[in-house]
Amino acid sequence: MLRFSIIVPVFNRPDEVNEFLESISKQEFRDFELIMVDGSPTEILQPVIEKYKDQLPLNYIYVKGLGASESRNLGCEKALGEYLVFIDSDCIVPETYLAQVNKFLLENKVDGFGGPDRASDSFTPAQKAINYAMTSLFTTGGIRGKKKHIGKFQLRGFNMGVSRESFFAIGGFSGMQVAEDIDLSMRLHKAGFTTALIPDAFVYHKRKTNFKKFHKQLFMHGKGRIDLYLRHKDALKLVHLFPTFFDVYLVITFLTIFIKPEIFICFFSLIAFYFLLLLFHATWLNKKISVGLLSTIASFIMLWAYGNGLLINFIKRIILKKGSDSKKSVILKN
């Protein structure tokens, strides 16, 4: 049996896929296979795939219109590895990635694992800013893989892996439209399986390339948190509500302009202080004022979009009791 099966859902974006495949082809640890499941509307990725057929143990599957959860489940059906590794196609994978994962697993008995994400020096200023907004202690509370923790570490779909046994025991990905990775992680925990963060198994996660796409993505993430809550009552914590509190506070602040300007100045000063803190912190981390300024914009977009998504879906699904979170998922065969 192979040690690892890397399973990657892809959808268009040939330049991104080419960059990902180039990084995988340079892995120092070679006991793996790569399964790419393509749901693109056309076979636009075929030329890119053909380029790496001789460089990688690559199994390419094309099923038009297949979603991310379904693509991952289908890839797992075809997988031969002891561990199933899921990495998003917008990631660049360091050469030592699999070696670090293998070393950790030899020393620690866990059923699932994940790694952090970083911003590469090659990223655009906007991508570095988005990375800051998604990983900073002052925006997300530093909950996205910042410290070593064996136990109930929450897996993230851009960089995670599970043992074959545990994955099929819980039925794979559920088919949720958003937050399917966290749902899988929580089902692993409830089934008694263990997960851990591998600090050195990081990837360079490019995420979205502009703020408009970033806004849309984070709005969906906010909606997904309510979908998770309806499946797992322990999925909603205070840190997840911070963006919604921020949005409500912001609206109240600007309403005070029409009530009493002195109150507005008081409320607004707290917002100004918060964003000055983000500006200085992001500038210090990235050593560029331009990235610092963009990071404050990205952080505002993240908080506003996520908070709105969560609030709107709370009203829709919990108060009005409308809508659903799932699509039909592939039936797993081990």
Domain extent for 35: 2-122+143-207
C-alpha pair distances (Å), 333 with each of 36, 102, 163, 175: 18, 26, 15, 15
Q: Which residues contact 314 (CB under 8 A, 6 or more apart)?
A: 226
Q: What is the pLDDT of residue 152?
A: 67
Examine residue 130 and state whether it is found in any structural domain, yes or no: no
Same domain assignment for residues 20 and 162 = yes
CATH of the domain at 81: 3.90.550.10
Examine residue 134 and state whether it is found in any structural domain, yes or no: no
pLDDT, averaged across the chain? 91
Same domain assignment for residues 36 and 172 = yes
Beta bridge partners of 81: 2
Quote the CA–CA distance of 259 and 158 in Å, as a whole number.
46
Examine residue 202 and state whether it is found in any structural domain, yes or no: yes
Q: What is the pLDDT of residue 151?
A: 45
Q: In the 3-class helix/strand/coil scheme, how is 257-282 assigned residue by residue?
A: HHCCHHHHHHHHHHHHHHHHHHHHHH
Examine residue 36 and state whether it is found in any structural domain, yes or no: yes
Quote the CA–CA distance of 217 and 197 in Å, as a whole number.
24
Same domain assignment for residues 184 and 65 = yes
Same domain assignment for residues 224 and 198 = no
Examine residue 334 and state whether it is found in any structural domain, yes or no: no
Residue 60 parent element (H or E): strand 58-62
Q: What is the pLDDT of residue 145?
A: 47
Same domain assignment for residues 11 and 84 = yes
**Do the Cβ atoms of 4 and 161 come closer than 8 Å?**
yes
Comparison of pLDDT for 324 and 179, the residue scoring more: 179
- Residue that is last in its domain, among 207, 225, 241: 207
**Do the Cβ atoms of 82 and 106 come closer than 8 Å?**
no
Segment 40-45 shows an average pLDDT of 92
DSSP class of 44: T
- Residue that is last in its domain, among 207, 226, 242: 207
**Pick from 4, 182, 10: which is nearest to 88 by CA?**
10
**Do the Cβ atoms of 197 and 148 come closer than 8 Å?**
yes
Segment 102-120 shows an average pLDDT of 94
- Residue that is last in its domain, among 166, 183, 207: 207
Go through the chain and tell me how many residues it has. 334
Segment 48-75 shows an average pLDDT of 93
User: Looking at the 3D structure of the chain, how many domains does it have?
Assistant: 2
Q: What is the pLDDT of residue 178?
A: 85
